[in-house]
A and B are shown apart, each in its own frame.
Chain A
Amino acid sequence: GQQLNQSPQSMFIQEGEDVSMNCTSSSIFNTWLWYKQEPGEGPVLLIALYKAGELTSNGRLTAQFGITRKDSFLNISASIPSDVGIYFCAVPPRSGGSNYKLTFGKGTLLTVNP
């Protein structure tokens, strides 16, 4: 089945630093999604990317849909303590039509030291 390789697995940073994480796959996708999960909560959609090369921002978050359509990047600028959580990339099936069936990466655990 589809597999996403997400890295890094975890990051420990100081408040104010910038963060970068990515997801790669051997397969081509038409959509890339980035979710954040805080402790004791379900994931929340941060950014959705629908076009190769697309660069989309949401506040301090910026995500890019790789030009090869096999990867995506998420950057967080000037991190703050509330950025703590697990960040997941996710994709719908390559064949389309069944967009509900998301495949998730294993997540990047972000810890921000104040």
Chain B
Amino acid sequence: GAGVSQSPSNKVTEKGKDVELRCDPISGHTALYWYRQSLGQGLEFLIYFQGNSAPDKSGLPSDRFSAERTGGSVSTLTIQRTQQEDSAVYLCASSPPAIAGVNEQFFGPGTRLTVL
């Protein structure tokens, strides 16, 4: 079956512009996560969705970042007034309904954002 897909795969934008990054999770996965990966760094948690609700937005770096999820499926991460420090790979992951222990998170290939 299809894995997590993200689009675009690459995005180059000018400082000050808004960007939207899209994530299509694996069908049937109730949880969805966004992470940011900067060069030479590990993954930084941004936000978590359970269904369409975001119980934890604590990782969003500033109010320029927002995300939504509709229909318990597709999610969009929006960055307004982009800054050069926003340049990174944005990774989306999804996981099935929890059973026990830590849910395995299945990652998409990421969107590489470059802000000029």
Point out the residue from B4, B43, B101 that lies within 8 Å of A102, measured CB to CB. Answer: B43
A-binding segment of B62-70, B75-83, B105-113? B105-113
Is B31 an interface residue when CB atoms closer than 8 A count as contact? yes
Q: Is there contact, CB below 8 Å, between B43 and A48?
A: no
Is B42 an interface residue when CB atoms closer than 8 A count as contact? yes
Q: Is there contact, CB below 8 Å, between A107 and B42?
A: yes
Tell me how many residues of A have a C-beta within 8 Å of chain B: 25
Point out the residue from A44, A50, A99 that lies within 8 Å of B107, measured CB to CB. Answer: A44
Point out the residue from A6, A43, A92, A99 that lies within 8 Å of B43, measured CB to CB. Answer: A43
Chain B residues, CB < 8 A from A33: 102
- Complex-state Cα separation, A44 to B4, whole angstroms: 12
Q: Is there contact, CB below 8 Å, between B45 and A42?
A: no
Chain A residues, CB < 8 A from B4: 42
Rounded to whole Å, the gap between the CB of B10 and the closest CB of chain A is 10
Q: Is there contact, CB below 8 Å, between B41 and A100?
A: no
Is B1 an interface residue when CB atoms closer than 8 A count as contact? no
Which residues 24-69 in B have Cβ within 8 Å of A in the complex? 31, 33, 40-45, 48, 56, 59
Is B84 an interface residue when CB atoms closer than 8 A count as contact? no
| Additional pairs, 19, CB under 8 Å, beyond known A99-B103, A101-B45 | A31-B102, A33-B102, A41-B107, A41-B109, A42-B4, A42-B93, A42-B108, A42-B109, A45-B104, A48-B101, A48-B102, A90-B42, A98-B56, A99-B101, A100-B31, A100-B56, A102-B45, A106-B41, A107-B40
19 A–B contacts from the bound complex (CB under 8 Å): A40-B109, A42-B4, A42-B91, A42-B92, A42-B93, A42-B108, A42-B109, A43-B107, A44-B107, A45-B105, A50-B101, A50-B102, A88-B42, A99-B101, A99-B103, A101-B45, A101-B56, A104-B42, A106-B40
**Residues of chain A having any CB pair with chain B under 8 Å:** 4, 6, 31, 33, 40-45, 48, 50, 88, 90, 92, 98-107
